[in-house]
Structure 1
Amino acid sequence: MNDRHEDSDGQAASAPAQEQAPRRRAWNDEARDSLHILPLSALPLETPGLQHARLIKNVRLQTVIEMFNDAQAGSGQVAPRQVAVYFESYQEQVERDLVKIEKIAQAASFDVYTSRIELRRLNINVNDHEALTLSAKKKAELTQYMRVFTRPLIECVYGSEEVNINSVDDLIRMFATPNRDEALRNLRMMADRLDVALQEIPQFLEEYGDIFLSLAYFRKCLDEIVPEVQKFLTWMSEVRSSQEVKRDSRQCKMLDEINRDLTDISTSITGRFESFDNRTRDFWKDINAQTFRQIRELIAAHHVTIGGVLCGLEVKMNLWKTRFARGGGGPNRRLEFIKSEILPGLSHIKSLEQSARTQGA
């Protein structure tokens, strides 16, 4: 039986290949939008086949190479050094590739913003690399978050007029060709205050859009993760109140420390975002080149620690939701999960958040 059929142009096409294309697209988009996945296609690798694999952070926040992920077969993960056994005909290429992989594997997170920073440190070109940009779907999801940052910009130029903006691209197009004399005058005034030429405003908007798109992305991640942490703490408190655990002071101490650490981490990173919001409002009260440069550098300086903290919390909460999808679980089963999956790596998340406090916001 032949697996091929003719497409609309009369050319032969493979049915399995056509079926795989949407899956491959979804696989790639998941990686681009994730905190804990980096497609190896983002690196200039020599080994055929490795470009289709991904680096991921496991629940202990160790970096492994995921060779495949399938609903039936599960996730095929190997430590970077073990990947050579899969490519015995390319030993020299694998060794050279592993130098790059092992360096980027040390990153605290694999979100696109942190990955760009880390890859630039390795002198790897990240410009216009699709694997290092958010997917169109994710950008659309962030539209409501971006309105927080686009609204003051629109009001600065267009006043209180209702303007429909669905993306940063819409914003750039609108300001590149302002449709009112008053808007043009306001744009000229903004250009003067930013110390740029009027024709450079679209470039400023691209920079503005990218830095605040990153903040919107992390804010959405935070808004999804923190409620899950709160649910987990409630679930864990039920273990703490069981008679069996109450009799063991060491277990009680461990649970109390985990509760305190997760609460402190969540409170601290939420406070950082509130500080960013305040700085953004201050920027629009006194818009100038220096204040924009300061806020851009401030947010960029926090990318790595924000990504690392959210990545760590996300992988742990995701595993908890998978293992205990319906809640429940007896005290011993819960306690074993907390000790084996939540506790390892938690000190790393805590130290990342503590280090961020010294940066200020």
Structure 2
Amino acid sequence: MGAETPLHTSDGTLTPIEESDMDSLFVLPLDIIPFTTPALRQARMIKNAHLRSVIELFSDVSTGSGQVEINDLPKLMPWPEDEIHPDLVIARKLAMLHSYDVFSLRIMLRRIGVPVAEQAGLQLTPEKNQELTTYMTQFTRPLISQIYGGDETVKVERFEDVVKLFRDPDVKRARQRLTQMADALGIEVMEVPRFLEDYGDIFLSLSYYRRCLDMLTPLLDVFIDSMYEIRKNYQMRQDQNLLRSCDMIETTINELTAAITGRFENFDRSTKTMWENISAERFQKVKDLIQAYHVTIGGVLCGLTVKMNAWIRLFPRPTSGGPVKRSEFIMTDIRQGLENITRIEDSAPMLAQLE
């Protein structure tokens, strides 16, 4: 399924955020993990509304989602009863991850010792890369400006265009460009392609997370407005536990989004500082800084997106459900597991800035 941006239709309906599996924060296609059990390789691991990881064996509009708890897998799989199957061990490790976006997975799969069928498979789809073009432009422009200055013959619209500059059919011209960049970075010419690969990937990750936040924001706004309406309802105002929960949930959401936004601003400042005196070493510091927060940002965005998707699916329009039904869902599904997102944020390293 291709990416869908949440938007209002003519009747005010909001759609949840749905991405292709490899572009998703909350879906892990298990065919990239070398399981020995065929049924697992054909399934997906997803985060449910309570932020627990479950195995989704099938998903269809008419039949719904067939979900299995990780610890229930031995009842369904053809595994020996007298021993713990290696695939169950791997599934339990995967279930502990906070997000299934490709950038978090690259870090966490190595950390927990789970291999992938093909490391190159941890990539966004070409469609998602194209969608992120406008986000990447702000990182492409200073790169070109630094190396080529006012050369109006250099036309760049996408990051791929930067790479193409060094594959010019004119060998002499291509070599000159490579030399220019190597000199600016203080590295050898042969190291330039690797720099470009690292540069493109690290800022692609930043573009991806920003896009995720941009898609999530309208859902958060709608949800917070809904809680405001519940607080105004005469019947609901009598439930002090509900009111306290609504206050806690709104405060938590605001604090989490403010923290993510603050990190993006820090990355922007660090990137700007990097270009004031560019070198391979300074780029490495920026890269390390951004990568240090992949797991945190991915985990927070994953948790909030799953929660808001659950809300929008049940209440896609302002008139969907009544205050009682909405209040019950807040108490049973939205509140459950929200503290896990806060723990992800609290466990993040202290914000640093490139000096």
TM-score in terms of structure 1 length = 0.85
Aligned-partner Cα distance in 2 for 1:59–1:189: 52
Greater CA drift, 88-97 or 297-306: 88-97
Alignment deviations for residues 178-198 of structure 1 (CA, whole Å, 9 cap, x no partner): 969898666535423433211
**Equivalences for residues 4-153 of structure 1 within 5 A:** 30-88=20-78, 95-126=85-116, 129=119, 131-153=121-143
- Could you tell me which of 298, 301, 312 is aligned with 2:303? 312
Superposed CA deviations along residues 234-265 of structure 1, whole A, max 9, x for unmatched, are 11110011112222333222211111111111
Cα distance change on mapping 1:91 and 1:70 into 2, 3 Å: farther
Partner of 2:7: none
Contact 2:242 2:331 (8 Å CA) reproduced: no
- Partners in 1 of 2:185 and 2:117 — Cα distance? 25
Tell me by how many angstroms 1:302 deviates. Answer: 0.3
Distance 1:349 1:100 in 2: 23
Deviates more, 1:226-235 or 1:116-125: 116-125
Structure-2 separation of matches of 1:89 and 1:99: 13
Instruction: Give 1:320 shift.
Output: 1.0
- More contact order relative to length (CA 8 Å, sep ≥ 6): 2
Identify which range, 185-194 or 62-71, moves more after superposition. 185-194
Runs of 4+ in 1 over 4 A off after TM superposition: 89-94, 124-128, 178-187
TM-superposed CA distance for 1:321, in Å, is 1.0
Kindly provide the CA deviation profile for residues 175-225 of structure 1, in whole angstroms up to 9, marking residues without a partner as x: 344969898666535423433211221111001111111111111001111
Task: After TM superposition, list the pairs within 5 Å mapping 1:1-361 onto structure 2.
Answer: 30-88=20-78, 95-126=85-116, 129=119, 131-160=121-150, 161=152, 163-165=154-156, 167-177=158-168, 187-328=178-319, 329-356=321-348, 358-360=350-352
RMSD: 2.6
**Residue equivalent to 1:10:** none
Question: Take 1:360 and 1:234, find their aligned partners in 2: how far apart are those partners?
Answer: 34
Aligned residues, how many? 335
Equivalent AA in structure 2 for residue 80 of structure 1: I
Percent of residue pairs bearing the same amino acid type: 42
Instruction: Write out per-residue CA displacement over residues 292-342 of structure 1, whole angstroms, 9 at most, x where no aligned residue.
Output: 111100111100000000000111111111111112332211111111111
Q: Are the equivalent residues in 1 in contact too, given 2:29–2:44 (CA < 8 A)?
A: yes
How far apart are residue 359 of structure 1 and its match?
Answer: 4.1
Query: What is the distance in 1 between the residues matched to 2:107 and 2:200?
Result: 18
Kindly provide the amino acid, as one letter, of the partner of residue 323 in structure 2.
Answer: P
Structure 1 residues 238 and 125, CA, compared in 2 at 3 Å: closer, same or farther? same
Structure with higher helix content: 1
2:166–2:177 CA contact under 8 A, matched in 1? no
2: CA distance, partners of 1:189 / 1:46: 50
**Which letter maps to 1:341?**
D
Aligned-residue offset at 1:127: 8.7
Gaps of 5+ in 1: 1-21, 24-28
